[in-house]
Amino acid sequence: MNITDRFLKYVSFCTTSDENTSMTPSTPGQMEFARYLRDELIGLGLSEVELDDNGYIMATLPANTDAKLPTIGFIAHMDTSPDASGKNVHPRIVRSYDGNDILLNQQLNIYLETSKYPEILNYKGQDIIVTDGTTLLGADDKAGIAEIVTAMEYLIAHPELKHGKIRIGFTPDEEIGQGADHFDVSKFAAQWAYTMDGGAIGELEYENFNAASCKITINGVNVHPGSAYHKMLNSMRIAFQLAVMLPRYQTPEHTKEYEGFYHLVGMQGTVEKTTLSYIIRDHDRTQFEYRKREMQHLVNKVNREFGEGTAQIELRDQYYNMREKVEPVMYVVDMAKEAIAKAGIEPKVKPIRGGTDGARLSFEGLPCPNIFAGGENFHSRFEYLPINSMEKAMEVIINISTNLKESDC
C-alpha cells in the first residue's frame, strides 16, 4: 500500500481523545484503530508486535546487519485533537494545487482561503490532501503513523539497506497530555527515538513548552432574581471577572516563537457553578512557574472579595521542556538534520509551540526530538497535508535508520 492510500485509510477511524472519560485509551475508536495497526504490522512482517490493554502498540524491525548499531525508535500518536470533530472525515486530494482559494465544501460555502492561510502557497503545484471543511483531517498524527509504517515496509522490501534494530511505538491520548502515561520506556529499549509529530516540511524540534492544565471552579449562590439583593452570587459573572484579570495579550493569538501564554479552552456555567479550563504554556521554566502562581493569586483575590471557597483551583503539570534532556546528546538532533538535508530539504530547527509525547519521554530517559509529519493547520477544519511532505518525512526515517554507525552506540 502506498503512503497516501495508507493515510487515507487511517483517517477513516474516529480517534478523537476525551480528557473527561478517565479511561485509557480515553475513547473506543482509538482501540479500534490500534487493533487495525497491530494486524497491519504483523502482516508486514514486523516482530514483537504487541498491543496492551491501554492501547499502546510496540513493534520491532530486527537488525539486518552484524554491525553493533544502536537501537533507535520512531513514535507517533493515534488520537486526534478534541478541538475539532474527527468523526466522518471526508478527505479529498487537490491535484497540482494552482495557488487559488480551495473550495472545501460547496454546500456550506467553506473555502480554505490563501489570505488567511498563506503558507499553503508554498505548496503550489503539489498534490494536497484537504478536508471537506466540517472536520479536522487527522494528519496530526496519522501522517506520522503512515510515514513510520511505510518506512518500515520499505526497509523490509530493501534488505540491501543495512540498519540496526528499530523500535516503533504508537500511543493513545497524546492530544490530552496523557500519551506517555503508560509508555514503558524500559520495555521499548531504545537508546533514543524520534516523534514524527511536527508540522511543515523540514521542521525539527528539540525544545517545547513547559505545560500545565488549570481548572478553576467558581461556586455561586442562586436566588430568585426578584429577591437577589445582597444574596445572589452569580458564578458566571465572577468567572468573567477573573478571566479578564489575565493579561490580554498573553494568549495564543497574540504570541509567537518563545512567548508563553494563558489559553482559555473551555467554559461551562450556571448562576450556581462555573468552570474555567485553561492551559498554561511557557518555554522558560521560571516564567512557567510564575504563570501558575499568577493563577493561584487570581483565585485568592476572588476569594478575598467574595468569600473563602468561592473559587477553587486545580493545577496539573503536563510536561516540561525537553531541551535540558536533549542538549547533552545533541548528536541525535544532528543526525536528524543530516537525514533531512539528505532528503533534499533545508532543516528548520525551531521551538515547538506545543508538546509531544517525546517531551515527557525525554524526562523518562528516552531522548526524543520531534521531526515534521508534514501537515499544516493542525486541530482545525482547515487542516491540510501536502503529499510530498509526507513522502519526504518517510524518506527522513529511512535516512536516519540506514546512516547509523557503530560509533553512535
3-state secondary structure of 145: helix
Helices 387-401 and 3-10: angle between axes, nearest 10 degrees: 110
DSSP letter string over 316-364? EEEE--THHHHGGGTHHHHHHHHHHHHTT---EE---SS--HHHHHHHT
Quick one: which H or E segment has residue 230? none
> Which position has the grid cell 540498519?
163
Backbone torsions φ then ψ of 51, nearest 5 degrees: -125, 115
* Residue 395 annotated to the active site: no
Which residues lie closer than 8 Å to 355 by C-beta, 6 or more apart?
177, 208, 209, 211, 318, 319
- The residues with which 281 forms a beta bridge, in sequence order, are 211, 261
* Residue 79 annotated to the active site: yes
Cell output for 169: 511505538
Q: Is the peptide bond before 25 cis (omega within 30 degrees of 0)?
A: yes
Q: Which of 40, 79, 141, 207 is catalytic?
A: 79
Q: Which of 174, 203, 205, 282 is catalytic?
A: 174
Name the residues annotated as catalytic.
79, 174
